[in-house]
Structure 1
């Protein structure tokens, strides 16, 4: 997955609309379904937990299905890209200890994965206005730059492929 520049204003606007749409859909759908089920199948004891739960489950599955159907729509482009980037970075983070150890021993693939992780994290944190951890990221990037200089390695994050992680 290649890193691309994301229009922050458009991303935030679309993400907020998707979030609010999901919240509204969940509230309206779950209440609507549960009220219909309660009206059709009343319980003399007044306990309708199972109908309420079924309403939430059916609505959640429906929202997930709708989101998956529209994930390639132009409106969802930035939202989907960021979601997929977060998944890619999560895969790297699960192997971070091994990657850092291998990078310190001169493994170019580990350095490439770390470089991609740092660049992707920087992009995400700028989109989310998460500047608190940018200093930590700069320290880690400086360590990686030192390793790249020590082992005379030049990296291009466009060369990163998820298959690199399989060896760690």
Structure 2
């Protein structure tokens, strides 16, 4: 089972089926999911959680993002293996409840996830796949030291590939 990750304000812990209602409110929100093909239905959120449970077996997967102060599930964040142009890449992904945007939660969670990927998983590099128009997610990546590597056509859309290597991260 995946170990939780803690920051000052957040607990990143494995998702469970009990998280489905709260996560459905986030991943089913049209504005939150603007850069995805569509907001997720309740059934799709259940499948999303099941995929993460399977990923936990190899040490990856999106974790539930819980605000410590309130105990509320406010999103997800984690490292997920993706095939990008035939290469396995460890992607840092995140979703935060729209009502809590611009409070630094995504940046804080992604930073902790990056550190965990380098330390626990032993990754040499991490990436974030972000649609070009998604300025908020691009800023999260940049705040955490990722830089634009290239633009690829991935899952039917153009995506900016932001990258951070462990060596660079340790030098900062």
TM-score normalized by the length of structure 2: 0.26
TM-score normalized by the length of structure 1: 0.26
Query: Higher relative contact order at CA 8 Å, sep ≥6: structure 1 or structure 2?
Result: 1
